[in-house]
C-alpha cells in the first residue's frame, strides 16, 4: 500500500478530482477519516472554460490547478496519481493501473466521457471537447487548417479546410461555436492575409428543434438568434449519419465537405461502474438512492455526472452545481455514518444556469427570471472568474480575457505541443491530408 496513511480512522477513497470529488475531499478535510483521492491527472480542470482553451483564448494552465496544492495544509488527505479501473465490491478494493487500494467508504466521482452513440466515423474522425488534451489538440488543428488554407491553391480543398462543423447544440457546442467565430474573425483574420475569410464557415448542427433546450424558451431563442447574427450557420433538426476524414454526412443525405467535425453531441457515465458490474442506466450512470448510495452497498456513494439522481419526475442534469452539492452531501453522510448516525437525503438547490455565446452576449436563468445580452455576460464572467480555483489562475484568466477584450488579440495561438505526425508541425495539413488519427498517435486522447 505504498505510503498511504494507515490509521485507526476509516479510509474514504474518492475516485476522481473533478468538481464533485474535490468538494467531497474539501468537506472531509481535517475530519476523523483518512482520505485518498485518486485521479489520473495531477491537476483539477475547470471544465466550464475548456472551450476557451480550444478557441486559443486561455492556455491549458489557466484552467488547471494542481491537486496537491489544494490540500497542501491538510494532513488527512493523500493524493494518488493513477487510473482507477474497477472495484472489487466484495473485498473493498480498487484496482488501478498502479497499486491496489482498499477502502472503508468509497465515493465514485469519475464523471462523464464523450458518447458517440455509435455513429460511424465519430470515434475515428471527429474532435472531442471533454479533456484538456482534447481542447489543445482541437486548438492546434484549427490553426493548422488556416496555415494549410493559406498555402492551398485548390478551391475545393481550401473551402473544406475552412469549414468547421460543430455537432451538438448544448452548452459546449454553443459556447464553442461563439468562441470559434470570434477567434476566426478576430485574431486569425489579421494573421492570415492570404486567406479569403468569406470562404470560412462555422456550422452548428443540432438534432433537436432548438439549441440549449434545458434553458428557458426565450434564452433558447436568443441563443440561436445571436449565433446567426455572428454568422454561424445554425441548422436545427440536423442529424449526423456518418463522419469521414473530409466530410460529414447528414441523415437527410446532405453532406458537408470539411476537415473539422467537433463532436459535442453527448456524454455518458465514465466506465468504472460498468466495469465493476454495478448496474448502470442506458447512458452509463449509476442510479443512487436518496442518500446518494448504491443499492446493497451502504458504504459506496456515487456523485456528479456519474450519478443518476432522481428528483421527483426528473433526473438532475450533468452540471458542476449538481457535482459540487452531491459531493458535499456524500461526504457529510460518510461523516455521519462514521459517527454512528444515519445518512441524510440529498436536496438539490438549483442556482440557475447560464450560457455564453460570445463577446458581450450571454443568457442567464435564475429561478423564474432570465437575463440576456451584456448584463448576462458580465454576470457570467464574474461568476466563472470567482469559481476558478486558485487566485493565480484568476489573475491569469483575467489578464488573458482583458487582453482579448481590449485588443481583439488572441494571446495563445501557438501550435504547441506539436501533435502532427511528421516532422514539421502541421505539415500534414499543408499537404491537405488531415486525419484525427494522425494527431491521436502522438497526443493520445485519454
CB atoms under 10 Å from CB of 89, counted, come to: 15
Check: CB of residue 273 under 8 Å from CB of residue 306.
Answer: yes
Check: CB of residue 40 under 8 Å from CB of residue 8.
Answer: no
Write out the three cell numbers for 422: 511528421
Residue 59 contacts a copy of itself per CB under 8 A:
yes
In 309-401, which ranges are E strands?
A: 310-311, 314-315, 353-358, 361-366, 369-373
CB of residue 429 vs a copy of itself: minimum separation in angstroms? 8
Residue 150 contacts a copy of itself per CB under 8 A:
yes
Residue 190 contacts a copy of itself per CB under 8 A:
yes
Among residues 133, 175, 206, 270, the one annotated as catalytic is: 175
Enclosing H/E stretch for 94: strand 93-96
Write out the three cell numbers for 9: 480512522
CB of residue 245 vs a copy of itself: minimum separation in angstroms? 19
Q: Which is nearer to a copy of itself, 351 or 444 (CB)?
A: 444
Within positions 398 to 437, which residues make up the interface with a copy of itself, using CB under 8 A?
Answer: 399, 403, 409, 411-418, 422-427, 430-431
Q: Which is nearer to a copy of itself, 157 or 208 (CB)?
A: 157
Check: CB of residue 355 under 8 Å from CB of residue 368.
Answer: no
In 185-330, which ranges are E strands?
A: 201-205, 233-235, 240-244, 247-250, 255-257, 260-263, 267-269, 286-287, 293-294, 297-302, 307-308, 310-311, 314-315
CB of residue 423 vs a copy of itself: minimum separation in angstroms? 5
Candidates 90-98, 109-117, 205-213, 347-355 — which segment interacts with a copy of itself by CB under 8 A?
90-98
Q: Which is nearer to a copy of itself, 279 or 422 (CB)?
A: 422
CB of residue 113 vs a copy of itself: minimum separation in angstroms? 13
Helix (H, G, I), strand (E, B) or coil at 365: strand
Q: Total number of residues binding a copy of itself (CB under 8 A)?
A: 64
Q: Which is nearer to a copy of itself, 3 or 342 (CB)?
A: 3
Greatest CA separation found in the chain?
A: 74
CB of residue 132 vs a copy of itself: minimum separation in angstroms? 6
CB of residue 198 vs a copy of itself: minimum separation in angstroms? 16
CB of residue 57 vs a copy of itself: minimum separation in angstroms? 12
3-state SS record for 194-230:
CCCHHHCEEEEECCCCCCCCCCCHHHHHHHHHHHHHC
Residue 119 contacts a copy of itself per CB under 8 A:
no
Q: Determine which residue in the list 8, 90, 91, 97 makes contact with a copy of itself, applying CB under 8 A.
A: 97
CB of residue 162 vs a copy of itself: minimum separation in angstroms? 14
Q: Which is nearer to a copy of itself, 69 or 287 (CB)?
A: 69
**Burial class of 26 by CB neighbour count within 10 A (0 to 12, 13 to 18, 19+):** middle
Q: Determine which residue in the list 68, 159, 239, 435 makes contact with a copy of itself, applying CB under 8 A.
A: 68
Check: CB of residue 329 under 8 Å from CB of residue 344.
Answer: yes
Give the closest residue to 410 by CA, choosing from 204, 232, 181. 181
- Rounded distance, CA 245 to CA 322, Å? 37
Q: Which is nearer to a copy of itself, 82 or 241 (CB)?
A: 82
Residue 43 contacts a copy of itself per CB under 8 A:
yes
Which residues are paired to 404 by β-bridges?
A: none
Residue 29 contacts a copy of itself per CB under 8 A:
no
Residue 348 contacts a copy of itself per CB under 8 A:
no
Quick check: is 175 catalytic?
yes
Residue 35 contacts a copy of itself per CB under 8 A:
no
- Compose the 363-402 pattern: x for residues touching a copy of itself by CB under 8 A, - for all others: -----------------------------x--xx--x---
* Span between the terminal Cα atoms of the chain, in Å: 26
Write out the three cell numbers for 135: 481542447
Residue 350 contacts a copy of itself per CB under 8 A:
no
The b/e string for 33-71 (b: 16+ C-beta within 10 A; e otherwise) is bbbbbbbbbebbbbbbbbbbbbbbbbbbebbbbebeebb
Q: Which is nearer to a copy of itself, 298 or 443 (CB)?
A: 443
Bridge pairing between strands 163-167 and 260-263: parallel
Q: Which is nearer to a copy of itself, 321 or 418 (CB)?
A: 418
Which residues are paired to 102 by β-bridges?
A: 93
CB of residue 4 vs a copy of itself: minimum separation in angstroms? 8
Q: Which residues bind a copy of itself (CB under 8 A)?
A: 2-3, 40-43, 59-61, 64, 66, 68-69, 72, 75, 78, 80-83, 96-99, 132-133, 136, 143, 147, 150-153, 190-194, 392, 395-396, 399, 403, 409, 411-418, 422-427, 430-431, 442-444, 446
Residues that are catalytic: 175
Amino acid at each position: 500500500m505504498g505510503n498511504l496513511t494507515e490509521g485507526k480512522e476509516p479510509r474514504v477513497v474518492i475516485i476522481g478530482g473533478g468538481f464533485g470529488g474535490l468538494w467531497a475531499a474539501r468537506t472531509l478535510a481535517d475530519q476523523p477519516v483518512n482520505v485518498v483521492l485518486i485521479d489520473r491527472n495531477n491537476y483539477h480542470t475547470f471544465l466550464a472554460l475548456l472551450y476557451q482553451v480550444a478557441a486559443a483564448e486561455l492556455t491549458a494552465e489557466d484552467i488547471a490547478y494542481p491537486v496537491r496544492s489544494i490540500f497542501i495544509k491538510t494532513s488527512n488527505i493523500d493524493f494518488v496519481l493513477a487510473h482507477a479501473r474497477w472495484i472489487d465490491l466484495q473485498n473493498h478494493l480498487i484496482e488501478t493501473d498502479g497499486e491496489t487500494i482498499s477502502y472503508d467508504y468509497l465515493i465514485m466521482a469519475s464523471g462523464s466521457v464523450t458518447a458517440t452513440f455509435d455513429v460511424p466515423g465519430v470515434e475515428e474522425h471527429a474532435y472531442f471537447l471533454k479533456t484538456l488534451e482534447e481542447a489543445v489538440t482541437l486548438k492546434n488543428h484549427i490553426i493548422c487548417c488556416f496555415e494549410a488554407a493559406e498555402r492551398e491553391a485548390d478551391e475545393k480543398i481550401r473551402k473544406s479546410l475552412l469549414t468547421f462543423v460543430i455537432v451538438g447544440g448544448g452548452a459546449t457546442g454553443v459556447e464553442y461555436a461563439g468562441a470559434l467565430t470570434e477567434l476566426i474573425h478576430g485574431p486569425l483574420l489579421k494573421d492570415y492575409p492570404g486567406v479569403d475569410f468569406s470562404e470560412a464557415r462555422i456550422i452548428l448542427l443540432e438534432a433537436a428543434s432548438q439549441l440549449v433546450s434545458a434553458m428557458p424558451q426565450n434564452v433558447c431563442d436568443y441563443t440561436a438568434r445571436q449565433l446567426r447574427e455572428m454568422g454561424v450557420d445554425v441548422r436545427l433538426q440536423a442529424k449526423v449519419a456518418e463522419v469521414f476524414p473530409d466530410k460529414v454526412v447528414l441523415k437527410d443525405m446532405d453532406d458537408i465537405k470539411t476537415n473539422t467535425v467537433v463532436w459535442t453531441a453527448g456524454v455518458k457515465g465514465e466506465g468504472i461502474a460498468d466495469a465493476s458490474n454495478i448496474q448502470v442506466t442506458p447512458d452509463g450512470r449509476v442510479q443512487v438512492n436518496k442518500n446518494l448510495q448504491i443499492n446493497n452497498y451502504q458504504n459506496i456513494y456515487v456523485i456528479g455526472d456519474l450519478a443518476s439522481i432522481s428528483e421527483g419526475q426528473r433526473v438532475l442534469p450533468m452540471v458542476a452545481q449538481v457535482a459540487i452539492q452531491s459531493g458535499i452531501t456524500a461526504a457529510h453522510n460518510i461523516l455521519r455514518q462514521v459517527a454512528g448516525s444515519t445518512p441524510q437525503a440529498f436536496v438539490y438547490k438549483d442556482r440557475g444556469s447560464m450560457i455564453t455565446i460570445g463577446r458581450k452576449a450571454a443568457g442567464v436563468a435564475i429561478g423564474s427570471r432570465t437575463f440576456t445580452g451584456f448584463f448576462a455576460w458580465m454576470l457570467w464572467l464574474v461568476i466563472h472568474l470567482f469559481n476558478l480555483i486558485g487566485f493565480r489562475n484568476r489573475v491569469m484568466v483575467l489578464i488573458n480575457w482583458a487582453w482579448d477584450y481590449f485588443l481583439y488579440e488572441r494571446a495563445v495561438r501557438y501550435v504547441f505541443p506539436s501533435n502532427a505526425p511528421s516532422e514539421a508541425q502541421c505539415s500534414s495539413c499543408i499537404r491537405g491530408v488531415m486525419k484525427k488519427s494522425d494527431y491521436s498517435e502522438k497526443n493520445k486522447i485519454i
